[in-house]
Structure 1
Amino acid sequence: MDEQQAVDRAEEIIHQAVDVMSPKPTLERTGPESVGPCIARDDHGPDDRRQVTLFYKLTGVPGAEARNLVLQARDAWLKQGYKYHSSDEKDMSGPFPWVSMRSESDDFWMEGITGVLDRDKGEGIATLKVRSPCFLPPGKSSAAAADPAAFEAPAADDPAGRRALGHSSRIYDALGVGAAPTQPGEGIGRVRDASGAEAVHHTWSTPPLPEQERARAVARAQAYFVGAGWRVRPMPTAEGAPGVVAGHPEEHTVAQVVVSATGAVRVAVTTPVDGPAGPAGPAGSDSAAV
């Protein structure tokens, strides 16, 4: 795939939803440039790969129609065979629904979001977002690894490191918003809890996100944990920002996904060195703190 093919495909997905809508909205382009860098490398340099992200507000219709437009987008994408990635049934039945979906055949991701204009009157504005998979620009033959599992490769004989990085990668996929360059204190290393038990601890974060988007990202992570059979509980911060902590029922791995003061979503995964039979630290313990 090249840039033009990615843009064309993203536009196609947008129009698959919009062209069948009633009333017919006007597409108003918003957000960043359509083609931009993919995900940063651990050394803070840019990844060679590129990625298309398109944002459109659906304007020219009454605010009370925003809910119906998002639901129509969902239905149109379902007819195309796209799959739910995450959604909230309460939100979908309320005045301000949102949905996240994926095209399994070519790995494009799409969202329908209802922004709030007047909560009391149920008025909003619908926004559609489509993000392409990463691709190499012309003349590039390889790309730096771009998911959190590449931040620091574990030793071949380090199963705990591989477990931690594997979980980080799956959380990365669930968040669906990319990763920021490694910040001070982030990365992978070994830690000990108060009892002296040793664990591998991996931390990373997303770029700062708008408030609505970071809440959606945490919700997608929570949906992933629930679907994968983790034990899950909410973990809001002192500032009231959303967060979730999850425990793997077999490995005693603890994962935290929390919105930080900068607006980034921070991820921490801690897994015991002695494997699934090792002791489990309590969720939210110091060894798993973000």
Structure 2
Amino acid sequence: MKLRKAILAAALLTMPITVTACGTQEDVQANGGKTPKQVTMDEQQAIDRAEDIIQQAVASMSPKPTPERVGPPPVGPCIARDDHGPDDRLQVRIAYKLTGVPGTEAKNLVRQARDAWLKQGYTYTSSGMDDWSGPFPAVYMRTAPDDFWMNALTGVLDRAKGQGLASLVVTSPCFLPPGKSSTAATADPAALKAPRADDPTSSRALGHSSRIYDALQVRSAPTQSGEGLSTVQDDAGTSVHHTWSTEPLPEAETVRALERAQTYFQSTGWHVRHLPTAAGAPALIARHPDEGTIAQLAPSATGTVRVAVTTPASGPTSADV
């Protein structure tokens, strides 16, 4: 039972995988409402910077934890974008769980990560200052000026005993690799391939997207480059990824649509978390308790809501879950 709790906690801690906007609200305003500025770096530079941010948090922790990398390979396609421009942007995400210390130290480790990042001059996101009265706090911060986003989270191992599992997650801004043009056609990453239309996992992912569409109660936008179905193969196995976007919405309607989606998730037993975004309204991250499907609903600076559904191939074969 303890192993199962640890696995579940790790899964919940790693859920914020790709919900980071490509460019910030400030970038959009500075450009007169146009497409956010492009970030140029290579994959290794993004990985090195993310690892450095992790090390800044861990270096002076006491008791000293053992960082263990979790999740898929660090480099992937830009998922939660603030625009639909066709390009080859990528994103780096690195997550570590902090092991080797008592579960009662999880809150203390999160606090120490926060303090270390504050000393570096990093700032809270708009909703990053969470309640510290309980044993399982979370901190959401960002760097300046390079705009990496990071979380220090506490997953619950034993609520009654106040034992948790601390995790650190760093996500880069979406970036165009050197030599790539923002007007170039979107290139399919090597890890992605088109799934078969009759694949049961694809049907399950589309079924979830359909029910999310019904819950949002807003129209979808025409399919853009980079959206649709793809099969993802990584160290964790094979899954089907389906992405689409709503039409642009006023901020108040975005909030109401996300509230309706949250009601749907909670009424059907999904585990739901909120994550801050540069767009103002928080993103929703929901995990299906039985099959492991993860749904991400991320509002963008342009008013659209970006929806991404990732369904593992090992889940149930029925789409009606």
- With normalisation by structure 2, the TM-score equals 0.49
How far off its partner does 1:132 sit? 0.5
Aligned equivalents of 1:40, 1:268: Cα separation in 2: 8
2:79 corresponds to 1:48: no
Aligned equivalents of 2:243, 2:93: Cα separation in 1: 19
Aligned equivalents of 1:268, 1:59: Cα separation in 2: 33
2:210 corresponds to 1:141: no
Match of 1:30 among 63, 70, 88: 70
Compared with structure 1, are the counterparts of its residues 215 and 144 closer, same or farther at alpha carbon in structure 2 (3 Å cutoff)? farther
Which residue in 2 is equivalent to 1:62?
102
Which residue in 2 is equivalent to 1:248?
none
Supply the AA of the counterpart residue of 1:71.
Answer: R
Aligned 8 A contact 1:39 1:47 in 2: no
2:274 corresponds to 1:216: yes
Aligned equivalents of 2:243, 2:44: Cα separation in 1: 27
1:105-160, Cα deviation, whole Å (9 max, x unpaired) = 110000000000000111000000000011122431225799xxxxxxxxxxxxxx
Which residue in 1 is equivalent to 2:38?
none
How far off its partner does 1:66 sit? 0.6
How far off its partner does 1:216 sit? 2.3
3-state SS in 2 of match to 1:181: strand
Which residue in 2 is equivalent to 1:264?
295
Supply the AA of the counterpart residue of 1:182.
Answer: W
2:138 corresponds to 1:80: no
- The list of structure 1 runs, each at least 4 consecutive aligned residues, that deviate by more than 3 angstroms after superposition, is 44-47, 143-146, 221-225, 256-263, 265-269
3-state SS in 1 of match to 2:157: strand
Aligned 8 A contact 2:86 2:185 in 1: no
1:14-48, Cα deviation, whole Å (9 max, x unpaired) = 00000010011101000121111112789x99851
Aligned 8 A contact 1:40 1:47 in 2: no
Which residue in 2 is equivalent to 1:152?
none
Aligned 8 A contact 1:39 1:46 in 2: no
Which residue in 1 is equivalent to 2:155?
115
2:247 corresponds to 1:187: yes
How far off its partner does 1:259 sit? 6.2
Q: Percent same amino acid among aligned pairs? A: 58
Alignment of 1:221-236 (within 5 A): 224=280
Compared with structure 1, are the counterparts of its residues 53 and 71 closer, same or farther at alpha carbon in structure 2 (3 Å cutoff)? same
2:92 corresponds to 1:13: no
1:251-277, Cα deviation, whole Å (9 max, x unpaired) = xxxxx97969875354789xxxxxxxx
Aligned equivalents of 2:51, 2:173: Cα separation in 1: 14
Supply the AA of the counterpart residue of 1:87.
Answer: G
Runs of 5+ unmatched residues, structure 2: 1-40, 187-220, 222-240, 301-321
Compared with structure 1, are the counterparts of its residues 224 and 41 closer, same or farther at alpha carbon in structure 2 (3 Å cutoff)? closer
Compared with structure 1, are the counterparts of its residues 26 and 41 closer, same or farther at alpha carbon in structure 2 (3 Å cutoff)? closer
Compared with structure 1, are the counterparts of its residues 95 and 55 closer, same or farther at alpha carbon in structure 2 (3 Å cutoff)? same
Which residue in 2 is equivalent to 1:171?
none
Compared with structure 1, are the counterparts of its residues 40 and 55 closer, same or farther at alpha carbon in structure 2 (3 Å cutoff)? closer
Compared with structure 1, are the counterparts of its residues 29 and 264 closer, same or farther at alpha carbon in structure 2 (3 Å cutoff)? same
Aligned 8 A contact 2:68 2:96 in 1: yes
Compared with structure 1, are the counterparts of its residues 145 and 48 closer, same or farther at alpha carbon in structure 2 (3 Å cutoff)? same
Which residue in 1 is equivalent to 2:193?
none
Compared with structure 1, are the counterparts of its residues 48 and 66 closer, same or farther at alpha carbon in structure 2 (3 Å cutoff)? same
Give the length in aligned residue pairs: 188
Aligned 8 A contact 2:279 2:299 in 1: no
Runs of 5+ unmatched residues, structure 1: 147-164, 166-178, 190-198, 226-243, 245-255, 270-290
- With normalisation by structure 1, the TM-score equals 0.54
3-state SS in 1 of match to 2:135: coil
Higher relative contact order (CA 8 A, sep 6+): 2
Aligned equivalents of 1:41, 1:223: Cα separation in 2: 11
Aligned 8 A contact 2:68 2:97 in 1: yes
3-state SS in 1 of match to 2:140: strand
Aligned equivalents of 1:47, 1:40: Cα separation in 2: 13
